[in-house]
């Protein structure tokens, strides 16, 4: 019997016409009840013929109202308040017509609806109650027959709209694993009450009741929860062996996946990110509207996110330039799926190939350039300094020079915190890029292009970031490799970094180095331990941490500003202007050109020595080039 009913409701055997017939039957019963109630109250002497004639007209009018509004076409087992709105609309329409007919009966002595208005009003409310009650009865019966309560005892953190959606997604899915035993909310006005027939607790009370409830999972459904609060909740969950999961906001759901499957494990990015960034949308829109924009390194993690951010604005065209064809193809397919009519073009080119770059500028005439193309892996660049010079410095110089030649309005370069007091080749190469960009912006004949440099630390999830490495190592069973127990790094999420790049790009007047507020530095050792716990594993038992020693060019901590530099605040609390020493164009250009020419014939040691001459604060650390300092000092 149970399987038969489930098949009946799952398949559309109960067609809309059956629902219409049942609605009309309920409408007729509502009239009989309203008529009887009125008769008992007023003791009026109505004949059976009068009742049948009036009832017939009422059923005909409601039939046409139901047909016109389509209130019978919904799937009953999915009934919600939209169905109630449709029933209300159809019933109000029918009541209005019947009231008019009743008035005509009195005025012109027609024998149409010869019943009082009280009967019509009572019938109106009874019809809505019966028809909607029928739908709710079917829905709840279906839910009872098909519901399979999960075995994982769960608390939903948040009683807002997303919390309700989460509860409905869990209870409405026969394959769910969760058994929701209550809600948690930070709002005291909601404590000690029931919400959707479930109790609501404070966080502290939920912890106390753990012995009784035996909670296993917490699902966060409050999108505006501060990062600090998420961290506090995460720490508590780790201590209590609760698994912490997240229900993303509806706008971040993956298409084609059921609501229940949107619930995911909390990620380290959720705990290391910062609170929402508020951008000057008006200024950015004004700066981007109708513009052709070139993004280099577009296949990379930073470049691709800049592209995604740009396509949210009314741009004319976004040029995605990179030498990595596979990465560009993947990004192209993603954008075609997410932004079907997005104005973008793929450009496969090498930033070190000046003639090819020139042809791109000649064809597209970009008005804005975002340069995210660079080699960023510190240990690899220690082994191949000529590549760091050729790509990072040579590519940036090509793009900057062409921007001046083709009168680009604004050039934004992505730099790094490793450019401050650099201890490695990669950081020194980015500092030389900064110096050349600054020198170019201070040229006396520089009247058109405004050069902006943005400097920030590590981004979570980027290519080469420690987070993806740790995830892979956890999946493989470990160990997690940490270079030093005391090593610290600044972290920022990719979207946050790119949003700040856009903001800084349109607040700069030219020549500035914008430094982003990276928050507090994070110990990599603590990060590794947190990721192990978030994976539900125990350190030392399920998986271990191995300390491998500092890599070539690596230092224990990063800096955002050199010791001789200071910062000035801007109108955005997370963006500061670094006050750095000025660069004279003629000498800087001559030195950079000589360095680029030298990669054709000089050894790595000699190239690094040239870099040290350009960047006096560059002191190789834990590197094969460390001997250059002793040679220089002698």
DSSP 254: P
**453 within 8 A of 513, measured Cβ to Cβ:** yes
The β-bridge relationship of strands 410-416 and 317-322 is unpaired
pLDDT tens per residue, range 552-588: 877 777 766 654 456 677 777 777 777 777 788 889 9
Count of Cβ atoms closer than 10 Å to residue 308 Cβ: 18
- How confident is residue 195, by pLDDT bands cut at 50, 70 and 90? confident
More confident site: 632 or 317: 317
**489 within 8 A of 458, measured Cβ to Cβ:** yes
Say whether pLDDT at 300 is over 80.
yes
Say whether pLDDT at 161 is over 90.
no
**CB burial class (10 A; 0-12, 13-18, 19+) of residue 610?**
buried
**366 within 8 A of 408, measured Cβ to Cβ:** yes
Alpha-carbon distance of 270 to 230, in angstroms, equals 8
Give the CA dihedral 286, 288, 291, 292, nearest 10 degrees.
Answer: 170
Say whether pLDDT at 13 is over 80.
no
pLDDT for 562: 52
pLDDT for 2: 46
pLDDT tens per residue, range 341-380: 889 999 999 999 999 999 999 999 999 999 999 998 888 9
Q: Which two tokens stand for residue 290?
A: 């109708």
DSSP 190: G
pLDDT tens per residue, range 36-84: 776 665 445 556 666 777 777 788 888 888 888 877 777 666 666 777 8
Mean pLDDT for 121-125 is 85
CA angle 415, 418, 419 (to 5 degrees): 60
Mean pLDDT for 210-224 is 79
**218 within 8 A of 243, measured Cβ to Cβ:** yes
More confident site: 7 or 246: 246
Arithmetic mean of pLDDT over the chain: 80
Residue 438, phi-psi category: left (phi > 0), alpha (psi -120 to 50), beta (remainder):
alpha
**CB burial class (10 A; 0-12, 13-18, 19+) of residue 16?**
middle
Q: Terminus-to-terminus CA distance in the chain, angstroms? A: 95
- Return the residue matching tokens 């190239």: 607
Strand ranges (E), 430-523:
450-456, 458-460, 480-482, 488-489, 491-493, 513-516, 522-523
**460 within 8 A of 466, measured Cβ to Cβ:** no
Spell out the domains of the chain, with CATH numbers in brackets: 2-146 (no CATH), 152-266 (3.40.50.720), 281-458+492-520+563-614 (3.40.50.720)
pLDDT tens per residue, range 232-267: 888 888 888 888 888 876 554 444 444 455 777 777
pLDDT for 148: 57
DSSP H or E stretch at residue 132: helix 117-146
DSSP H or E stretch at residue 157: strand 152-157
pLDDT for 105: 66
- How confident is residue 462, by pLDDT bands cut at 50, 70 and 90? low
Residues in a beta bridge with 531: none
More confident site: 443 or 369: 369
**89 within 8 A of 69, measured Cβ to Cβ:** yes
Q: What angle do helix axes 301-310 and 325-338 make, rounded to 10 degrees?
A: 30
pLDDT for 471: 84
Count of Cβ atoms closer than 10 Å to residue 522 Cβ: 22
Q: What percent of the chain has pLDDT over 70?
A: 82
Q: Is the peptide bond before 626 cis (omega within 30 degrees of 0)?
A: no
pLDDT for 193: 80
- How confident is residue 8, by pLDDT bands cut at 50, 70 and 90? very low
More confident site: 145 or 589: 589
Q: Which two tokens stand for residue 512?
A: 């500035």
Say whether pLDDT at 124 is over 80.
yes
Alpha-carbon distance of 126 to 35, in angstroms, equals 11
**45 within 8 A of 39, measured Cβ to Cβ:** no
> Which residues are identified as catalytic?
418
Q: Which residues contact 411 (CB under 8 A, 6 or more apart)?
A: 368, 369, 371, 399, 400, 403, 437, 449, 450, 451, 452
Rank 9-18, 442-451, 471-480 by mean pLDDT and report only the highest.
Answer: 471-480
**50 within 8 A of 107, measured Cβ to Cβ:** no
Say whether pLDDT at 441 is over 70.
yes
pLDDT for 484: 87
pLDDT for 326: 92
pLDDT for 171: 73
Helices (H) and strands (E) in the chain, counts: 24, 22
Sheet holding 410-416, edge to edge: 344-348, 317-322, 292-296, 368-371, 410-416, 450-456, 513-516, 575-579, 566-569
The rounded Cα 590 to chain-centroid distance in angstroms is 45
pLDDT for 598: 92
Q: What percent of the chain has pLDDT over 90?
A: 21
Count of Cβ atoms closer than 10 Å to residue 436 Cβ: 25
Q: What is the 3-state secondary structure (H, E, C) of 278-305?
A: CCCHHHHHHHHCCCEEEEECCCCHHHHH
pLDDT for 590: 93
User: Which of 538, 546, 492 lies closest to 517 in space, CA to CA?
Assistant: 492
Q: Is 197 helix (H, G, I), strand (E, B) or coil?
A: coil
């Amino acid at each position: 019997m149970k399987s038969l009913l489930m098949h009946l409701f799952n398949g559309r055997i109960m067609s809309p016409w059956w629902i219409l017939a049942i609605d009309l039957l309920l409408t007729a019963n509502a009239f009989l009840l309203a008529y009887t109630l009125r008769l008992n109250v007023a003791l009026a002497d109505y004949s059976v013929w009068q009742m049948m004639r009036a009832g017939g007209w009422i059923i005909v009018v409601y039939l046409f109202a139901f047909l016109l509004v389509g209130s019978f076409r919904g799937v009953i087992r999915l009934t919600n308040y939209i169905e109630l709105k449709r029933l209300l609309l159809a019933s109000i329409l029918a009541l209005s017509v019947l009231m008019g007919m009743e008035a005509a009966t009195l005025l012109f002595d027609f024998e149409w609806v010869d019943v009082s208005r009280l009967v019509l009003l009572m019938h109106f409310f009874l019809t809505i109650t019966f028809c909607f009650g029928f739908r709710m009865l079917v829905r709840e019966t279906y839910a009872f027959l098909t519901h399979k309560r999960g075995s994982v005892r769960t608390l939903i953190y948040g009683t807002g709209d997303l919390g309700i959606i989460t509860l409905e997604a869990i209870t409405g899915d026969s394959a769910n694993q969760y058994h929701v035993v209550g809600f948690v909310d930070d709002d005291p006005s909601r404590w000690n009450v029931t919400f959707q027939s479930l109790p609501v607790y404070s966080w502290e009370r939920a912890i106390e009741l753990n012995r009784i409830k035996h909670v296993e999972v917490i699902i966060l459904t409050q999108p505006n929860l501060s990062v600090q609060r998420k961290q506090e909740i995460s720490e508590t969950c780790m201590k209590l062996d609760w698994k912490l999961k997240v229900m993303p906001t509806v706008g971040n759901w993956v298409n084609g996946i059921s609501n229940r499957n949107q619930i995911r494990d909390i990620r380290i990015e959720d705990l290391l990110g910062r609170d929402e960034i508020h951008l000057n949308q008006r200024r950015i829109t004004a700066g981007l509207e109708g513009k052709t924009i070139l993004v280099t390194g577009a296949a990379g993690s930073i470049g691709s996110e800049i592209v995604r951010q740009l396509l949210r604005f009314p741009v004319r065209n976004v040029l995605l330039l990179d030498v990595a064809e596979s990465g560009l193809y993947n990004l192209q397919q993603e954008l075609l799926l997410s932004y079907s009519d997005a104005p973008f073009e793929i450009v496969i080119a090498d930033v070190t190939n000046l003639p090819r770059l020139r042809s791109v500028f000649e064809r597209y005439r970009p008005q804005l350039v975002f340069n995210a193309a660079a080699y960023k892996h510190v240990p690899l660049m220690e082994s191949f300094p000529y590549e760091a010079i050729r790509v990072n410095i040579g590519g940036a110089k090509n793009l900057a020079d062409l921007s001046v030649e083709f009168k680009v309005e604004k050039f934004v370069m992505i730099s790094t915190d490793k450019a401050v007091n650099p201890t490695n080749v990669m950081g020194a190469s980015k500092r030389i890029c900064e110096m050349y960009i600054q020198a170019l912006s201070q040229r006396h004949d520089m009247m058109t292009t405004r050069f902006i440099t943005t400097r920030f630390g590590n981004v979570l999830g980027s290519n080469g970031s420690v987070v993806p490495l740790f995830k892979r190592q956890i999946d493989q069973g470990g160990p997690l490799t940490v270079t030093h127990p005391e090593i610290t790094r600044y972290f920022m999420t990719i979207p946050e970094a790119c949003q700040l790049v856009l903001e800084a790009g349109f607040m700069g007047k030219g020549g500035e180095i914008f430094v982003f507020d990276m928050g507090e530095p994070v110990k990599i050792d603590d990060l590794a331990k947190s990721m192990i716990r978030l994976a539900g594993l125990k350190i030392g038992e399920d998986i271990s941490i191995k300390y491998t020693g500092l890599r070539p060019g690596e230092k224990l901590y990063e800096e955002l500003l050199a010791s001789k530099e200071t910062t000035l605040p801007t109108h955005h609390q997370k963006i500061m202007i670094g006050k750095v020493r000025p660069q004279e164009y003629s000498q800087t250009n001559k030195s950079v050109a000589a360095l680029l020419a030298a990669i054709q014939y000089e050894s790595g040691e000699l190239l690094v020595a040239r870099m040290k001459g350009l960047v006096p604060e560059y002191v190789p650390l834990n590197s094969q080039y460390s001997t250059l300092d002793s040679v220089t000092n002698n």
